[in-house]
Structure 1
Protein backbone atom coordinates (compact mmCIF):
# COMPACT_ATOMS: atom_id res chain seq x y z
CA UNK A 1 0.00 0.00 0.00
CA UNK A 2 1.00 3.61 -0.47
CA UNK A 3 0.93 5.42 2.88
CA UNK A 4 1.50 9.01 4.00
CA UNK A 5 2.76 9.56 7.55
CA UNK A 6 2.35 13.04 9.02
CA UNK A 7 4.83 14.00 11.72
CA UNK A 8 7.18 11.38 10.28
CA UNK A 9 10.24 12.83 12.02
CA UNK A 10 8.74 12.59 15.50
CA UNK A 11 8.91 9.76 18.02
CA UNK A 12 5.90 7.72 16.93
CA UNK A 13 5.92 8.95 13.32
CA UNK A 14 9.52 7.87 12.71
CA UNK A 15 8.95 4.45 14.27
CA UNK A 16 5.74 4.12 12.23
CA UNK A 17 7.49 5.00 8.97
CA UNK A 18 10.34 2.55 9.59
CA UNK A 19 7.96 -0.29 10.42
CA UNK A 20 5.68 0.32 7.44
CA UNK A 21 8.70 0.32 5.12
CA UNK A 22 9.87 -2.92 6.76
CA UNK A 23 6.44 -4.42 5.98
CA UNK A 24 6.89 -3.56 2.30
CA UNK A 25 4.70 -0.48 2.04
CA UNK A 26 5.50 2.59 -0.06
CA UNK A 27 5.84 5.31 2.58
CA UNK A 28 6.15 9.09 2.30
CA UNK A 29 6.29 11.74 5.01
CA UNK A 30 4.65 15.11 5.59
CA UNK A 31 5.52 17.81 8.11
CA UNK A 32 3.08 20.53 9.12
CA UNK A 33 3.20 23.74 7.08
CA UNK A 34 0.74 26.52 7.86
CA UNK A 35 -2.21 26.61 5.46
CA UNK A 36 -0.98 23.53 3.59
CA UNK A 37 -2.82 20.21 3.47
CA UNK A 38 -1.16 17.27 1.69
CA UNK A 39 -2.55 15.87 -1.54
CA UNK A 40 -3.98 12.62 -0.22
CA UNK A 41 -5.68 11.22 -3.33
CA UNK A 42 -2.59 9.19 -4.27
CA UNK A 43 -2.49 7.27 -0.98
CA UNK A 44 -4.30 4.24 0.38
CA UNK A 45 -3.83 5.41 3.96
CA UNK A 46 -2.83 8.54 5.85
CA UNK A 47 -1.35 7.90 9.30
CA UNK A 48 -1.76 11.20 11.11
CA UNK A 49 0.88 11.32 13.86
CA UNK A 50 1.73 15.01 13.51
CA UNK A 51 0.63 17.19 16.43
CA UNK A 52 1.76 19.39 19.26
CA UNK A 53 1.92 16.63 21.87
CA UNK A 54 3.33 18.70 24.73
CA UNK A 55 0.79 18.21 27.51
CA UNK A 56 2.06 21.37 29.24
CA UNK A 57 1.64 23.66 26.21
CA UNK A 58 -0.50 26.64 27.28
CA UNK A 59 -0.77 28.43 23.91
CA UNK A 60 -4.34 27.44 23.09
CA UNK A 61 -4.34 29.08 19.65
CA UNK A 62 -1.20 27.20 18.65
CA UNK A 63 -2.56 23.84 19.81
CA UNK A 64 -5.94 24.53 18.19
CA UNK A 65 -4.38 25.39 14.83
CA UNK A 66 -2.03 22.40 14.71
CA UNK A 67 -4.09 19.71 16.39
CA UNK A 68 -7.72 20.54 15.69
CA UNK A 69 -8.00 22.75 12.60
CA UNK A 70 -5.39 20.87 10.58
CA UNK A 71 -6.85 17.48 11.52
CA UNK A 72 -10.34 18.62 10.54
CA UNK A 73 -9.08 19.78 7.14
CA UNK A 74 -7.21 16.51 6.69
CA UNK A 75 -10.35 14.53 7.53
CA UNK A 76 -12.35 16.53 5.02
CA UNK A 77 -9.92 16.01 2.17
CA UNK A 78 -9.54 12.29 3.00
CA UNK A 79 -13.32 12.02 2.92
CA UNK A 80 -13.42 13.78 -0.46
CA UNK A 81 -10.92 11.34 -1.99
CA UNK A 82 -11.93 8.25 0.00
CA UNK A 83 -8.45 7.92 1.47
CA UNK A 84 -8.41 5.91 4.69
CA UNK A 85 -6.96 7.60 7.78
CA UNK A 86 -5.56 6.66 11.16
CA UNK A 87 -5.39 9.43 13.77
CA UNK A 88 -3.20 9.60 16.88
CA UNK A 89 -5.39 10.47 19.85
CA UNK A 90 -4.54 10.11 23.54
CA UNK A 91 -5.71 8.55 26.78
CA UNK A 92 -5.31 12.04 28.27
CA UNK A 93 -8.87 12.69 27.06
CA UNK A 94 -10.12 10.65 30.03
CA UNK A 95 -8.69 13.11 32.54
CA UNK A 96 -7.84 12.36 36.17
CA UNK A 97 -10.35 9.57 36.62
CA UNK A 98 -9.97 5.79 36.44
CA UNK A 99 -12.53 4.87 33.81
CA UNK A 100 -10.81 3.96 30.55
CA UNK A 101 -13.45 2.56 28.24
CA UNK A 102 -14.11 4.28 24.91
CA UNK A 103 -17.74 4.78 25.95
CA UNK A 104 -16.87 6.41 29.28
CA UNK A 105 -17.21 10.19 29.81
CA UNK A 106 -14.09 12.22 29.06
CA UNK A 107 -12.67 15.01 31.20
CA UNK A 108 -9.72 16.53 29.31
CA UNK A 109 -7.57 18.80 31.46
CA UNK A 110 -5.12 20.43 29.02
CA UNK A 111 -5.30 22.16 25.63
CA UNK A 112 -3.61 19.11 24.10
CA UNK A 113 -6.15 16.70 25.57
CA UNK A 114 -9.04 18.97 24.55
CA UNK A 115 -7.79 19.16 20.96
CA UNK A 116 -7.76 15.37 20.72
CA UNK A 117 -11.05 14.91 22.54
CA UNK A 118 -12.89 17.28 20.20
CA UNK A 119 -11.68 15.35 17.14
CA UNK A 120 -12.88 12.07 18.65
CA UNK A 121 -16.17 13.71 19.61
CA UNK A 122 -16.67 15.00 16.07
CA UNK A 123 -16.07 11.53 14.65
CA UNK A 124 -18.48 9.84 17.05
CA UNK A 125 -21.18 12.52 16.86
CA UNK A 126 -21.17 12.40 13.06
CA UNK A 127 -21.11 8.62 12.85
CA UNK A 128 -17.59 7.35 12.32
CA UNK A 129 -18.98 4.59 10.10
CA UNK A 130 -20.61 7.14 7.79
CA UNK A 131 -17.49 8.64 6.24
CA UNK A 132 -16.43 7.77 2.70
CA UNK A 133 -13.29 6.07 4.04
CA UNK A 134 -12.13 4.06 7.02
CA UNK A 135 -11.39 6.24 10.06
CA UNK A 136 -9.46 4.82 13.01
CA UNK A 137 -8.58 7.01 15.99
CA UNK A 138 -6.21 5.55 18.58
CA UNK A 139 -6.12 6.72 22.17
CA UNK A 140 -2.50 6.05 23.04
CA UNK A 141 -1.68 5.24 26.63
CA UNK A 142 1.87 5.67 27.96
CA UNK A 143 4.04 4.95 24.92
CA UNK A 144 7.78 4.36 25.30
CA UNK A 145 10.63 3.29 23.06
CA UNK A 146 13.58 4.55 21.00
CA UNK A 147 13.53 7.95 19.37
CA UNK A 148 12.18 10.06 22.23
CA UNK A 149 15.29 12.17 22.86
CA UNK A 150 13.94 15.33 21.24
CA UNK A 151 10.88 15.34 23.53
CA UNK A 152 12.94 16.32 26.59
CA UNK A 153 10.52 16.80 29.53
CA UNK A 154 7.76 15.11 27.53
CA UNK A 155 9.62 11.83 27.19
CA UNK A 156 8.05 8.72 28.67
CA UNK A 157 9.17 7.89 32.18
CA UNK A 158 11.14 4.95 30.76
CA UNK A 159 13.25 7.14 28.48
CA UNK A 160 13.48 9.90 31.08
CA UNK A 161 14.90 7.47 33.62
CA UNK A 162 17.32 6.12 31.00
CA UNK A 163 18.63 9.61 30.22
CA UNK A 164 19.08 10.42 33.91
CA UNK A 165 20.90 7.14 34.46
CA UNK A 166 23.22 7.72 31.50
CA UNK A 167 23.88 11.37 32.34
CA UNK A 168 24.19 11.44 36.13
CA UNK A 169 24.01 7.82 37.22
CA UNK A 170 21.04 8.84 39.37
CA UNK A 171 17.32 8.37 38.67
CA UNK A 172 15.18 11.03 40.32
CA UNK A 173 11.90 9.54 41.43
CA UNK A 174 8.91 11.28 42.99
CA UNK A 175 8.12 10.14 46.50
CA UNK A 176 5.20 7.68 46.73
CA UNK A 177 5.78 6.55 43.15
CA UNK A 178 4.85 3.04 44.20
CA UNK A 179 1.28 4.36 44.30
CA UNK A 180 1.33 5.80 40.76
CA UNK A 181 0.62 3.27 38.03
CA UNK A 182 0.84 3.50 34.25
CA UNK A 183 -0.23 1.39 31.29
CA UNK A 184 3.06 1.26 29.40
CA UNK A 185 2.87 0.32 25.73
CA UNK A 186 5.98 -0.22 23.65
CA UNK A 187 6.05 1.78 20.43
CA UNK A 188 6.88 -1.44 18.56
CA UNK A 189 3.52 -2.89 19.60
CA UNK A 190 1.76 0.33 18.63
CA UNK A 191 3.07 0.44 15.07
CA UNK A 192 2.51 -3.30 14.58
CA UNK A 193 -1.11 -3.06 15.69
CA UNK A 194 -1.87 -0.04 13.53
CA UNK A 195 -0.40 -1.76 10.48
CA UNK A 196 -2.52 -4.85 11.16
CA UNK A 197 -5.59 -2.65 11.53
CA UNK A 198 -5.06 -1.31 8.01
CA UNK A 199 -6.11 -4.72 6.75
CA UNK A 200 -9.40 -4.66 8.68
CA UNK A 201 -12.64 -3.22 7.35
CA UNK A 202 -13.13 -1.30 10.59
CA UNK A 203 -13.69 2.28 11.70
CA UNK A 204 -13.80 3.48 15.29
CA UNK A 205 -12.14 5.10 18.27
CA UNK A 206 -9.86 2.57 19.96
CA UNK A 207 -7.85 2.49 23.16
CA UNK A 208 -4.28 1.44 22.43
CA UNK A 209 -2.76 0.15 25.64
CA UNK A 210 -1.90 -3.20 27.19
CA UNK A 211 -4.69 -3.21 29.83
CA UNK A 212 -2.03 -3.82 32.48
CA UNK A 213 -0.50 -1.22 34.78
CA UNK A 214 2.89 -1.10 36.47
CA UNK A 215 3.86 1.21 39.31
CA UNK A 216 6.41 3.89 38.49
CA UNK A 217 8.79 2.86 41.27
CA UNK A 218 9.08 -0.61 39.71
CA UNK A 219 9.91 1.01 36.36
CA UNK A 220 12.67 3.08 37.96
CA UNK A 221 14.09 0.03 39.73
CA UNK A 222 14.16 -1.94 36.48
CA UNK A 223 15.97 0.86 34.65
CA UNK A 224 18.38 1.22 37.58
CA UNK A 225 19.07 -2.52 37.52
CA UNK A 226 19.85 -2.45 33.80
CA UNK A 227 22.00 0.68 33.93
CA UNK A 228 23.68 0.47 37.32
CA UNK A 229 22.14 3.78 38.38
CA UNK A 230 21.01 4.76 41.87
CA UNK A 231 17.55 6.10 42.79
CA UNK A 232 17.01 9.42 44.57
CA UNK A 233 13.54 10.19 45.93
CA UNK A 234 12.36 13.79 45.47
CA UNK A 235 9.23 15.84 46.13
CA UNK A 236 6.80 16.32 43.25
CA UNK A 237 6.89 19.90 41.87
CA UNK A 238 3.86 21.93 42.82
CA UNK A 239 2.84 22.64 39.20
CA UNK A 240 2.47 18.91 38.54
CA UNK A 241 0.41 17.97 41.57
CA UNK A 242 -2.98 18.88 40.11
CA UNK A 243 -2.41 17.27 36.70
CA UNK A 244 -0.32 14.21 37.51
CA UNK A 245 -2.26 11.06 36.65
CA UNK A 246 -2.25 8.52 39.46
CA UNK A 247 -3.40 5.62 37.31
CA UNK A 248 -3.86 4.62 33.69
CA UNK A 249 -5.03 1.26 32.37
CA UNK A 250 -6.61 0.73 28.96
CA UNK A 251 -9.80 -1.19 28.48
CA UNK A 252 -8.74 -2.66 25.16
CA UNK A 253 -11.60 -5.13 24.64
CA UNK A 254 -12.79 -3.20 21.58
CA UNK A 255 -9.37 -3.49 19.94
CA UNK A 256 -9.05 -7.17 20.89
CA UNK A 257 -12.45 -7.84 19.35
CA UNK A 258 -11.24 -6.37 16.06
CA UNK A 259 -7.85 -8.07 15.74
CA UNK A 260 -6.26 -10.90 17.72
CA UNK A 261 -3.40 -9.52 19.82
CA UNK A 262 -1.35 -12.48 20.90
CA UNK A 263 1.21 -10.73 23.04
CA UNK A 264 2.23 -7.31 24.36
CA UNK A 265 5.91 -6.52 24.86
CA UNK A 266 6.64 -6.18 28.57
CA UNK A 267 9.20 -3.73 29.92
CA UNK A 268 11.33 -6.67 31.04
CA UNK A 269 11.28 -8.09 27.50
CA UNK A 270 12.08 -4.67 26.07
CA UNK A 271 15.27 -4.53 28.12
CA UNK A 272 16.19 -8.18 27.73
CA UNK A 273 15.71 -8.48 23.99
CA UNK A 274 15.47 -5.07 22.34
CA UNK A 275 17.67 -2.69 24.32
CA UNK A 276 20.32 -5.38 24.83
CA UNK A 277 20.47 -6.09 21.09
CA UNK A 278 20.64 -2.36 20.28
CA UNK A 279 23.60 -1.94 22.63
CA UNK A 280 25.42 -4.87 21.06
CA UNK A 281 24.97 -3.71 17.44
Structure 2
Protein backbone atom coordinates (compact mmCIF):
# COMPACT_ATOMS: atom_id res chain seq x y z
CA UNK A 1 0.00 0.00 0.00
CA UNK A 2 1.12 3.55 -0.80
CA UNK A 3 -0.12 6.74 0.90
CA UNK A 4 0.03 10.15 -0.78
CA UNK A 5 -0.91 13.09 1.42
CA UNK A 6 -1.95 16.13 -0.54
CA UNK A 7 -2.85 13.53 -3.15
CA UNK A 8 -5.50 15.74 -4.75
CA UNK A 9 -3.07 18.65 -4.94
CA UNK A 10 -0.60 19.59 -7.64
CA UNK A 11 2.46 17.43 -7.05
CA UNK A 12 0.59 14.75 -5.12
CA UNK A 13 -1.90 14.07 -7.92
CA UNK A 14 0.94 13.80 -10.43
CA UNK A 15 2.59 11.21 -8.18
CA UNK A 16 -0.69 9.27 -8.00
CA UNK A 17 -1.19 9.38 -11.78
CA UNK A 18 2.38 8.23 -12.46
CA UNK A 19 2.03 5.37 -9.96
CA UNK A 20 -1.13 4.34 -11.83
CA UNK A 21 0.82 4.34 -15.08
CA UNK A 22 3.34 2.03 -13.42
CA UNK A 23 0.57 -0.38 -12.45
CA UNK A 24 -0.06 0.70 -8.85
CA UNK A 25 -3.63 1.30 -7.72
CA UNK A 26 -3.21 0.33 -4.05
CA UNK A 27 -3.00 4.00 -3.11
CA UNK A 28 -4.66 5.92 -0.29
CA UNK A 29 -5.08 9.60 -1.07
CA UNK A 30 -5.17 11.91 1.94
CA UNK A 31 -6.28 15.50 1.43
CA UNK A 32 -8.71 18.25 2.40
CA UNK A 33 -11.42 18.64 -0.22
CA UNK A 34 -13.03 21.70 1.33
CA UNK A 35 -12.25 23.17 -2.07
CA UNK A 36 -14.20 20.53 -3.97
CA UNK A 37 -12.73 21.59 -7.32
CA UNK A 38 -9.54 19.73 -6.45
CA UNK A 39 -11.27 16.44 -7.12
CA UNK A 40 -10.63 17.10 -10.83
CA UNK A 41 -6.94 16.34 -10.22
CA UNK A 42 -7.66 12.72 -9.30
CA UNK A 43 -10.81 12.09 -11.32
CA UNK A 44 -8.74 10.16 -13.88
CA UNK A 45 -6.76 8.28 -11.21
CA UNK A 46 -7.44 4.87 -9.68
CA UNK A 47 -7.05 4.68 -5.90
CA UNK A 48 -7.94 2.24 -3.14
CA UNK A 49 -9.32 4.82 -0.71
CA UNK A 50 -9.60 8.50 0.16
CA UNK A 51 -9.26 9.94 3.67
CA UNK A 52 -9.67 13.45 5.00
CA UNK A 53 -6.40 14.78 6.39
CA UNK A 54 -7.75 15.25 9.93
CA UNK A 55 -9.30 11.78 10.03
CA UNK A 56 -6.06 10.28 8.76
CA UNK A 57 -3.98 12.06 11.39
CA UNK A 58 -6.25 10.81 14.18
CA UNK A 59 -6.07 7.26 12.89
CA UNK A 60 -2.27 7.45 12.79
CA UNK A 61 -2.22 8.75 16.37
CA UNK A 62 -4.57 5.95 17.43
CA UNK A 63 -2.38 3.39 15.65
CA UNK A 64 -5.53 1.64 14.42
CA UNK A 65 -3.80 -0.28 11.63
CA UNK A 66 -4.06 2.37 8.93
CA UNK A 67 -0.30 2.09 8.37
CA UNK A 68 -0.17 -1.69 8.30
CA UNK A 69 1.38 -2.96 5.07
CA UNK A 70 2.26 0.56 3.90
CA UNK A 71 5.52 0.76 1.93
CA UNK A 72 5.93 4.51 1.60
CA UNK A 73 4.26 7.81 2.43
CA UNK A 74 4.72 10.62 -0.08
CA UNK A 75 3.90 13.54 2.20
CA UNK A 76 2.96 16.38 -0.15
CA UNK A 77 0.13 17.80 1.94
CA UNK A 78 0.65 21.25 3.44
CA UNK A 79 -0.69 24.77 3.49
CA UNK A 80 1.52 26.24 0.76
CA UNK A 81 0.28 29.82 0.74
CA UNK A 82 3.15 32.26 1.16
CA UNK A 83 0.63 34.98 2.08
CA UNK A 84 -0.86 33.05 5.03
CA UNK A 85 0.33 34.68 8.27
CA UNK A 86 -1.60 32.59 10.81
CA UNK A 87 1.49 31.06 12.37
CA UNK A 88 -0.43 28.81 14.77
CA UNK A 89 -2.35 27.21 11.92
CA UNK A 90 0.74 26.96 9.72
CA UNK A 91 2.86 25.24 12.38
CA UNK A 92 0.09 22.80 13.31
CA UNK A 93 -0.64 21.97 9.68
CA UNK A 94 2.90 21.87 8.25
CA UNK A 95 5.19 21.18 11.20
CA UNK A 96 3.39 19.19 13.91
CA UNK A 97 1.44 17.10 11.38
CA UNK A 98 4.70 16.16 9.64
CA UNK A 99 6.34 15.21 12.94
CA UNK A 100 3.53 12.78 13.78
CA UNK A 101 3.84 11.07 10.38
CA UNK A 102 7.63 10.97 10.58
CA UNK A 103 7.65 9.18 13.92
CA UNK A 104 4.89 6.79 12.88
CA UNK A 105 6.90 5.85 9.78
CA UNK A 106 10.02 5.31 11.85
CA UNK A 107 8.13 3.07 14.26
CA UNK A 108 6.85 0.90 11.41
CA UNK A 109 9.80 0.98 9.01
CA UNK A 110 7.96 2.97 6.33
CA UNK A 111 9.82 5.18 3.86
CA UNK A 112 8.89 8.84 4.39
CA UNK A 113 9.42 11.20 1.45
CA UNK A 114 8.22 14.72 2.13
CA UNK A 115 7.84 18.12 0.49
CA UNK A 116 10.10 20.83 1.80
CA UNK A 117 10.44 24.07 -0.14
CA UNK A 118 12.99 26.40 -1.69
CA UNK A 119 11.25 29.13 0.32
CA UNK A 120 13.55 28.11 3.20
CA UNK A 121 16.27 30.15 1.44
CA UNK A 122 14.15 33.30 1.47
CA UNK A 123 16.49 36.25 1.25
CA UNK A 124 19.58 34.20 0.46
CA UNK A 125 21.42 34.43 -2.87
CA UNK A 126 22.98 30.96 -2.40
CA UNK A 127 20.68 27.96 -2.71
CA UNK A 128 22.57 25.15 -1.07
CA UNK A 129 21.36 22.77 1.66
CA UNK A 130 23.36 24.42 4.45
CA UNK A 131 22.19 26.27 7.55
CA UNK A 132 24.16 29.41 6.66
CA UNK A 133 22.07 29.94 3.50
CA UNK A 134 18.63 29.29 5.00
CA UNK A 135 16.72 32.50 5.73
CA UNK A 136 12.93 32.05 5.40
CA UNK A 137 11.02 35.29 4.88
CA UNK A 138 7.47 34.13 5.66
CA UNK A 139 5.80 31.75 8.09
CA UNK A 140 5.23 29.16 5.36
CA UNK A 141 8.96 29.05 4.65
CA UNK A 142 9.64 28.95 8.38
CA UNK A 143 7.31 25.96 8.90
CA UNK A 144 9.12 24.02 6.17
CA UNK A 145 12.55 25.03 7.39
CA UNK A 146 11.78 24.15 11.00
CA UNK A 147 10.69 20.65 10.00
CA UNK A 148 13.92 20.24 8.02
CA UNK A 149 15.76 21.28 11.16
CA UNK A 150 13.85 18.72 13.19
CA UNK A 151 14.73 15.97 10.72
CA UNK A 152 18.38 17.00 10.90
CA UNK A 153 18.30 16.89 14.70
CA UNK A 154 17.18 13.25 14.77
CA UNK A 155 18.84 11.96 11.62
CA UNK A 156 21.36 9.93 13.64
CA UNK A 157 18.43 7.92 15.08
CA UNK A 158 16.63 7.16 11.81
CA UNK A 159 15.95 3.49 11.09
CA UNK A 160 14.11 3.85 7.75
CA UNK A 161 14.37 6.18 4.77
CA UNK A 162 13.55 9.88 5.23
CA UNK A 163 13.97 12.27 2.30
CA UNK A 164 13.01 15.95 2.09
CA UNK A 165 12.73 17.73 -1.27
CA UNK A 166 13.18 21.49 -1.50
CA UNK A 167 10.99 22.19 -4.51
CA UNK A 168 11.89 25.20 -6.61
CA UNK A 169 9.45 26.72 -9.16
CA UNK A 170 7.39 23.69 -10.14
CA UNK A 171 5.00 23.98 -13.09
CA UNK A 172 2.91 21.57 -15.10
CA UNK A 173 -0.38 19.64 -15.27
CA UNK A 174 -2.90 19.59 -12.40
CA UNK A 175 -2.08 22.98 -10.88
CA UNK A 176 -5.15 24.89 -12.09
CA UNK A 177 -6.81 24.83 -8.67
CA UNK A 178 -4.03 26.97 -7.19
CA UNK A 179 -5.43 30.18 -8.68
CA UNK A 180 -3.00 33.07 -8.24
CA UNK A 181 -0.39 30.63 -6.91
CA UNK A 182 -0.34 28.71 -10.21
CA UNK A 183 2.81 28.96 -12.32
CA UNK A 184 3.54 31.78 -14.75
CA UNK A 185 3.30 29.23 -17.59
CA UNK A 186 -0.33 28.61 -16.60
CA UNK A 187 -1.09 32.33 -16.40
CA UNK A 188 0.72 33.17 -19.66
CA UNK A 189 -1.33 30.51 -21.45
CA UNK A 190 -4.58 32.04 -20.18
CA UNK A 191 -3.47 35.58 -20.99
CA UNK A 192 -2.49 34.60 -24.51
CA UNK A 193 -5.82 32.91 -25.15
CA UNK A 194 -7.72 35.87 -23.68
CA UNK A 195 -6.04 38.74 -25.52
CA UNK A 196 -2.87 37.52 -27.23
CA UNK A 197 -0.52 39.19 -24.72
CA UNK A 198 1.77 37.73 -22.04
CA UNK A 199 2.20 40.29 -19.27
CA UNK A 200 5.55 40.38 -17.47
CA UNK A 201 7.18 42.62 -14.88
CA UNK A 202 9.47 45.33 -16.11
CA UNK A 203 13.07 45.52 -15.00
CA UNK A 204 14.00 45.30 -11.31
CA UNK A 205 16.92 44.41 -9.06
CA UNK A 206 19.45 44.99 -11.81
CA UNK A 207 17.57 42.72 -14.23
CA UNK A 208 16.05 43.90 -17.52
CA UNK A 209 12.41 43.64 -18.53
CA UNK A 210 11.24 40.07 -17.94
CA UNK A 211 14.81 38.96 -17.23
CA UNK A 212 14.25 38.09 -13.56
CA UNK A 213 15.26 34.44 -13.29
CA UNK A 214 13.91 31.34 -11.59
CA UNK A 215 14.77 27.67 -11.45
CA UNK A 216 11.67 26.40 -13.26
CA UNK A 217 11.28 22.62 -12.84
CA UNK A 218 8.69 20.54 -14.71
CA UNK A 219 6.44 18.50 -12.44
CA UNK A 220 7.16 15.26 -14.33
CA UNK A 221 10.80 15.61 -13.27
CA UNK A 222 9.75 16.23 -9.67
CA UNK A 223 7.78 12.98 -9.73
CA UNK A 224 10.71 11.10 -11.27
CA UNK A 225 13.02 12.21 -8.47
CA UNK A 226 10.49 11.21 -5.80
CA UNK A 227 10.07 7.74 -7.28
CA UNK A 228 13.82 7.29 -7.82
CA UNK A 229 14.52 7.88 -4.13
CA UNK A 230 11.75 5.47 -3.14
CA UNK A 231 13.42 2.82 -5.29
CA UNK A 232 16.76 3.61 -3.63
CA UNK A 233 15.89 3.16 0.06
CA UNK A 234 19.49 3.53 1.22
CA UNK A 235 19.38 7.23 0.26
CA UNK A 236 18.19 9.68 2.90
CA UNK A 237 18.68 13.40 3.37
CA UNK A 238 17.40 16.83 2.38
CA UNK A 239 17.84 17.74 -1.27
CA UNK A 240 17.18 20.69 -3.55
CA UNK A 241 14.81 19.72 -6.35
CA UNK A 242 15.29 22.08 -9.24
CA UNK A 243 17.04 21.85 -12.58
CA UNK A 244 20.21 23.58 -11.44
CA UNK A 245 19.81 26.03 -14.35
CA UNK A 246 17.79 29.21 -13.92
CA UNK A 247 15.91 30.70 -16.86
CA UNK A 248 14.11 33.99 -17.32
CA UNK A 249 10.42 34.79 -17.29
CA UNK A 250 10.96 35.88 -20.88
CA UNK A 251 12.00 32.30 -21.66
CA UNK A 252 8.72 30.99 -20.26
CA UNK A 253 6.63 33.54 -22.15
CA UNK A 254 8.58 32.91 -25.37
CA UNK A 255 7.94 29.16 -25.06
CA UNK A 256 4.20 29.68 -24.55
CA UNK A 257 4.04 32.12 -27.47
CA UNK A 258 6.02 29.75 -29.70
CA UNK A 259 3.76 26.79 -28.88
CA UNK A 260 0.62 28.75 -29.71
CA UNK A 261 2.24 30.20 -32.84
CA UNK A 262 2.98 26.72 -34.17
CA UNK A 263 -0.60 25.45 -33.84
CA UNK A 264 -2.62 24.81 -36.99
CA UNK A 265 -5.29 27.29 -37.99
CA UNK A 266 -7.69 28.30 -36.55
CA UNK A 267 -6.08 27.52 -33.18
CA UNK A 268 -2.92 29.48 -33.99
CA UNK A 269 -2.35 32.60 -31.86
CA UNK A 270 0.20 35.25 -32.82
CA UNK A 271 1.14 36.38 -29.33
CA UNK A 272 3.42 39.06 -27.95
CA UNK A 273 4.87 40.22 -24.64
CA UNK A 274 4.02 43.34 -22.70
CA UNK A 275 5.93 44.68 -19.69
CA UNK A 276 4.23 46.26 -16.69
CA UNK A 277 5.95 48.67 -14.30
CA UNK A 278 7.44 46.72 -11.42
CA UNK A 279 5.05 47.06 -8.43
CA UNK A 280 6.22 49.37 -5.66
CA UNK A 281 4.99 47.01 -2.93
CA UNK A 282 7.30 44.26 -4.19
CA UNK A 283 10.45 46.36 -4.35
CA UNK A 284 12.95 44.98 -1.84
CA UNK A 285 10.70 41.98 -1.16
CA UNK A 286 11.02 40.08 -4.44
CA UNK A 287 13.50 37.41 -5.42
CA UNK A 288 14.92 38.27 -8.82
CA UNK A 289 17.01 35.11 -8.97
CA UNK A 290 16.79 31.51 -7.79
CA UNK A 291 18.88 28.56 -8.91
CA UNK A 292 19.10 25.22 -7.12
CA UNK A 293 22.50 23.86 -6.26
CA UNK A 294 21.84 20.20 -7.14
CA UNK A 295 25.30 18.87 -6.33
CA UNK A 296 23.91 16.90 -3.35
CA UNK A 297 21.19 15.38 -5.55
CA UNK A 298 23.78 14.33 -8.12
CA UNK A 299 26.10 12.99 -5.43
CA UNK A 300 23.23 10.82 -4.15
CA UNK A 301 23.17 9.17 -7.57
CA UNK A 302 20.29 10.82 -9.44
CA UNK A 303 21.69 11.37 -12.94
CA UNK A 304 18.70 11.97 -15.25
CA UNK A 305 18.55 15.22 -17.19
CA UNK A 306 15.89 17.82 -16.36
CA UNK A 307 13.57 19.34 -18.95
CA UNK A 308 14.45 22.83 -20.14
CA UNK A 309 11.77 25.51 -19.96
CA UNK A 310 10.94 25.08 -23.65
CA UNK A 311 10.73 21.28 -23.36
CA UNK A 312 8.63 21.38 -20.21
CA UNK A 313 6.37 24.21 -21.35
CA UNK A 314 5.68 22.52 -24.71
CA UNK A 315 4.68 19.32 -22.92
CA UNK A 316 2.53 21.32 -20.49
CA UNK A 317 0.81 23.28 -23.28
CA UNK A 318 -0.02 19.98 -25.03
CA UNK A 319 -1.75 18.81 -21.86
CA UNK A 320 -3.34 22.13 -20.87
CA UNK A 321 -4.83 22.84 -24.28
CA UNK A 322 -6.00 19.33 -25.02
**TM-score, length of structure 2 as denominator length:** 0.81
The 1:277/1:178 distance shift into structure 2, 3 A limit, reads closer
Paired residues of 1:8 and 1:30 also in contact (CA < 8 A): yes
Q: Aligned runs of 1:231-250 on 2, under 5 Å?
A: 231-250=273-292
**C-alpha deviation, 1:274, in angstroms:** 5.3
Q: Which residue of 2 aligns with 1:275?
A: 317
1:87 partner SS: strand
* Corresponding position: 1:203 with 2:230: no
- Structure 2 residue runs of 5 or longer lacking an equivalent are 32-52, 61-65, 204-208, 261-269
* 1:225 alignment partner in structure 2: 258
Judge which range, 230-239 or 241-250, deviates more: 230-239
Whether 1:113 and 2:113 are equivalent positions in the alignment is: no
| TM superposition shift of 1:212 | 0.2
- 1:12 and 1:187 in contact (8 A); partners too: yes
Matched, 1:133 2:160: yes
1:81-101: CA deviations, max 9, x gaps? 121100100111011222111
Partner of 1:186: 218
Alignment of 1:53-68 (within 5 A): 53-68=80-95
**1:213, distance to aligned residue in structure 2 (A):** 0.6
In structure 1, what is the Cα distance between the partners aligned to 2:136 and 2:315?
36
CA spacing shift, 1:126–1:236, aligned 2, 3 Å = same
| Contact map agreement 2:109 2:159 (CA 8 A) in 1 | yes
Radius of gyration: which is bigger? 2
**In the alignment, which residue of structure 2 is the partner of 1:78?**
105
Secondary structure at the aligned position of 1:47 is classed as strand
In 2, are the aligned partners of 1:5 and 1:46 still within 8 Å (CA)? yes
Which segment is superposed worse, 242-251 or 26-35? 26-35
Q: Which moved more, 1:153-162 or 1:131-140?
A: 153-162
Q: Secondary structure at the match of 2:217?
A: strand
Deviations 1:151-183 (A, max 9, x none): 111111221212222233322211014441111
Look up the match of 1:16: 15
* Contact 1:140–1:207 (8 Å) recurs in 2: yes
The Cα shift of 1:207 comes to: 0.6
Q: How does 1:163-174 map to 2 (within 5 A)?
A: 163-174=190-201
How many pairs align? 278
Q: Report the secondary structure of 1:248's partner residue.
A: coil
Q: Secondary structure at the match of 2:170?
A: strand
* Contact 2:213–2:249 under 8 Å retained in 1: yes
Distance 1:54 1:4 in 2: 23
**Equivalent residue of 2:58, what SS?**
coil
Given that 1:142 and 1:183 are in contact with CA atoms closer than 8 Å, whether structure 2 keeps it comes out as yes
Task: Give, in angstroms, the shift of residue 249 of structure 1.
Answer: 0.7
Report Cα offsets for 1:101-154 as digits up to 9, x if no partner. 112521000111000000000111222x52122100000011000111111111
